Structure 1
Amino acid sequence: MKLFFPDTVYVNPKALNYECGLKAVEYLKNHNINIINSRSVSINEKSFIENYDKSKKTVFLTINSQKKLPSCKPSANYQFSLSSSCPGKCEYCYLQTTQGEKPYIKIFVNIEDILKVIQEHINKHLPDITTFECASITDPVALDHITGNLKRCIEFFSNSDHGRLRLVTKFDNVDSFLNIDHKRHTTFRFSLNSEYVINNFEKNTSSLKNRILAAKKVANSGYPIGFIIAPIMIYPNWKKEYKNLIENLSVAFKDYKDKISFELIQHRFTSTAKELILNRFPNTLLDLNEDKRQLKWGPYGKFKYIYTKDDSEEIKTYMSDLINKNFKNAVIEYFT
């Protein structure tokens, strides 16, 4: 997949106090990207859809001042951010509500400060191992060619006796990570789904074929590997398509002997997300019928619509059986 380049980059003056910020600006200038020095981003198109589309082509180089990292259960102990939003235009994205009407892409350049905060959180829990997720509100792989900060993080964790990194991606530009002496302290996971879901709802992301090829590269470079199957959807022929996905993945990893982790997440949405999705994608094929769902209280103070108890149990049982049948080295970390 081609590397992502925005149409416009806004640069917070504070970003220029950091070497990473200066290098990122120079890199983008060399690719003839429009640079605007500003403390804020201005997007004022004529329609909701145009605002969304322009946002996905707009980057704000800025800093991350977060000192207290939020919890990230069940994936990790904490989450931190190298960026927010991403070039992908996934119609179901669970960040629809938090990123609002104009989900432009923030890239944080104060990597030294971010790593210092991470180390402080590691120190709090010594002598225990502390795990960190860096892809909760973004796809760091999709943006790393601009800053190289994900590579810096992998190198940082490789030298950490008590810190471990986890990340997930839908993009295949992984070559810059293959020769790092990571010491298996970073776990790469790839977000996969059926062809129907990827083709209809995961716009501006790598194809299923290329994600699997990228996963094999990463696994062959010695990283712990895993897959997030999400969001799992019920639709006509869903069982056959997910069966094809798991069987094809099994063939691709038939010679891989180490543990492979799986995280299974069913499709869910909030009322606010539904409204945003229908405004952005008025012709979406997403099933947003609330009458077919049940309410579940979410960790961020909102009710979300998940599948009914019977449907959820069917998804969990079917997917778990598929994985265990096709992978002797699989560990299903959770279903939610």
Structure 2
Amino acid sequence: MASSPSPLSAPAAPRSCLWRPRQVLITRAARGFGHGRAMAERAAALGAEVVELAGDRLNLPKDLDPRAAYRAAKATLAVVVAPPSKRRLQPIPPSADWRFDLAEGCHAHCQYCYLAGSLAGPPITRAYANVDEILAVLPEHLGGGSVTSASPERAHEGTTFEASCYADPLGIEHVTGSLSEAVRFFGRWDAPVQLRFTSKFGDVSSLIGLPHGRRVRVRMSVNAEALIRYEGGTSPLQARLDALGRLARDGYRVGLTVAPIQPFADSPAGYDDLFARAAASLAGIPDLDLTAELITHRFTPASKTVLQGWYPGSDLDLDEAARTRKLTKFGSTKFVYPIETMRSLRASLQDMLQRHLPAARILYWT
């Protein structure tokens, strides 16, 4: 297997606690929704400064220091209203039939953040106040889609709706309450459907005991322990695995999103340890429904530029010469591992999964 310099000697990622935004901006329109006002109240109780905007535009102050602007944005939550264009569902292969958003942006500091270069403007987190309007659109898409709805192998999952494409809704749930609303919505929805979301945060207390109706699959985004140091401000790996066990015992369908997979010195041992620990956290759970999604590291020229600006001291491997250039379906460039590295990684990880978690269904490799 190809390898890069080992990150094993790096200090462990610090343990994280619940996010406490320093500032909350709430627009005039968002104040018209009880859900939006409740977000601002919860944030204020955590010590955030709540700023009630006169209108609906987020006019963020300019800062000549890009690092200071980045830090300020990452500590800011904006409570806004999702316009009709944001409530229009989009296909999201290979994960699910449809994507819908409860929020946009993330407060964590992952040095390989895939949102870098994808979202315009400063990296603030926007939470949507009109959750009822967002959820009301979903039934129109029942039975549609090109991933699970059209796949004989995954048809038993029903029409699937992904809620974590542009945000980690669990990481801000203690402020927004939006994810619990979505879980209850799917729990009441007596149809072949499934809510899906993935997270790097381990506080699942708000989800335990909710009437989810087995129509929710929670996946934890995990990686070899040696790579967790690139995920600043997130929960430790073991906390995520323990949370997955709690959810599975509460009847949720669960999954592992292994991402972004990277070769490093002794990576076979690192990934074997990951799956062994996952198996221990999920041991003895009756009716366990477990999936795995395997996603290798890739980047675009735009994301590389943004990430190197955000994390100038990072040793994350973004060497274009060591990658294969490919075109996305939109015609843009991305850099992925060479085919030999991909084959080696895939064979190795699939073998480990089969040994440690034979009940896991691998949904896709990419």
Normalized against structure 2, the TM-score is what?
Answer: 0.87
Equivalent-residue separation in structure 2 for 1:124 and 1:332 (angstroms): 23
Name the amino acid aligned to 1:290.
E
Once the two structures are TM-superposed, the CA of residue 300 in structure 1 deviates from its matched residue by 4.5
Once the two structures are TM-superposed, the CA of residue 270 in structure 1 deviates from its matched residue by 0.5
Q: How does 1:197-208 map to 2 (within 5 A)?
A: 197-199=227-229, 201-208=230-237
CA contact (8 A) 1:48 1:101 kept: no
Choose the corresponding residue for 1:28, options 16, 23, 43.
43
Equivalent-residue separation in structure 2 for 1:142 and 1:169 (angstroms): 7
1:7 corresponds to 2:22: yes
Q: How does 1:141-180 map to 2 (within 5 A)?
A: 141-160=170-189, 161-180=191-210
CA RMSD of aligned residues (A): 1.8
Q: Give the structure 2 partner of residue 97 of structure 1.
A: 117
Q: Give the structure 2 partner of residue 135 of structure 1.
A: 164
Q: Give the structure 2 partner of residue 266 of structure 1.
A: 296
Q: Give the structure 2 partner of residue 235 of structure 1.
A: 264
Once the two structures are TM-superposed, the CA of residue 21 in structure 1 deviates from its matched residue by 1.1
Q: Give the structure 1 partner of residue 9 of structure 2.
A: none
Q: Report the number of matched residues.
A: 335
Q: Give the structure 1 partner of residue 319 of structure 2.
A: 289
Name the amino acid aligned to 1:110.
N
Equivalent-residue separation in structure 2 for 1:186 and 1:41 (angstroms): 37
1:60 corresponds to 2:78: yes
Please list every run of 5 or more consecutive structure 1 residues that lacks an aligned counterpart in the other structure: none
Once the two structures are TM-superposed, the CA of residue 42 in structure 1 deviates from its matched residue by 0.9
CA contact (8 A) 2:108 2:231 kept: yes
Runs of 4+ in 1 over 4 A off after TM superposition: 123-126
Partner secondary structure for residue 35 of structure 2 = helix
Q: Give the structure 2 partner of residue 311 of structure 1.
A: 341
Q: Deviations over 1:70-110 (max 9, x none)?
A: 11111110011111111211010111011245110000010
Q: Deviations over 1:213-265 (max 9, x none)?
A: 11111111010110000000112121211111111212222213523100000
Partner secondary structure for residue 175 of structure 1 = coil
Q: How does 1:215-254 map to 2 (within 5 A)?
A: 215-254=244-283
From the superposition, tell whether residues 312 and 124 of structure 1 become closer, same or farther in structure 2 (CA, over 3 Å).
closer
Normalized against structure 1, the TM-score is what?
Answer: 0.95
Name the amino acid aligned to 1:109.
A
Once the two structures are TM-superposed, the CA of residue 301 in structure 1 deviates from its matched residue by 4.0
CA contact (8 A) 2:87 2:100 kept: no
CA contact (8 A) 1:15 1:21 kept: yes
Equivalent-residue separation in structure 2 for 1:123 and 1:252 (angstroms): 34
Q: How does 1:74-89 map to 2 (within 5 A)?
A: 74-89=94-109
Once the two structures are TM-superposed, the CA of residue 26 in structure 1 deviates from its matched residue by 2.2
CA contact (8 A) 2:118 2:303 kept: no
Once the two structures are TM-superposed, the CA of residue 23 in structure 1 deviates from its matched residue by 1.6
Partner secondary structure for residue 166 of structure 1 = strand
Equivalent-residue separation in structure 2 for 1:330 and 1:163 (angstroms): 20
Equivalent-residue separation in structure 2 for 1:313 and 1:123 (angstroms): 35
Partner secondary structure for residue 298 of structure 2 = coil
Higher helix share: 1
Once the two structures are TM-superposed, the CA of residue 163 in structure 1 deviates from its matched residue by 2.6
1:191 corresponds to 2:221: yes
Partner secondary structure for residue 97 of structure 1 = coil
CA contact (8 A) 2:262 2:297 kept: yes
Once the two structures are TM-superposed, the CA of residue 124 in structure 1 deviates from its matched residue by 6.0
From the superposition, tell whether residues 22 and 166 of structure 1 become closer, same or farther in structure 2 (CA, over 3 Å).
same
Equivalent-residue separation in structure 1 for 2:168 and 2:26 (angstroms): 20
Partner secondary structure for residue 265 of structure 1 = strand
Please list every run of 5 or more consecutive structure 2 residues that lacks an aligned counterpart in the other structure: 1-15, 150-154
Name the amino acid aligned to 2:259.
A
Name the amino acid aligned to 1:152.
E
CA contact (8 A) 2:97 2:144 kept: no
Partner secondary structure for residue 245 of structure 1 = helix
Equivalent-residue separation in structure 2 for 1:210 and 1:241 (angstroms): 17
Higher normalized contact order (CA 8 Å, seq sep 6+, divided by chain length): 2
Once the two structures are TM-superposed, the CA of residue 121 in structure 1 deviates from its matched residue by 2.1
CA contact (8 A) 2:244 2:282 kept: no
Once the two structures are TM-superposed, the CA of residue 120 in structure 1 deviates from its matched residue by 2.1
From the superposition, tell whether residues 313 and 172 of structure 1 become closer, same or farther in structure 2 (CA, over 3 Å).
same
CA contact (8 A) 2:117 2:306 kept: yes
Equivalent-residue separation in structure 2 for 1:248 and 1:29 (angstroms): 38
Partner secondary structure for residue 197 of structure 2 = strand
Once the two structures are overlaid, the 10-residue window that deviates more, 244-253 or 26-35, is 26-35
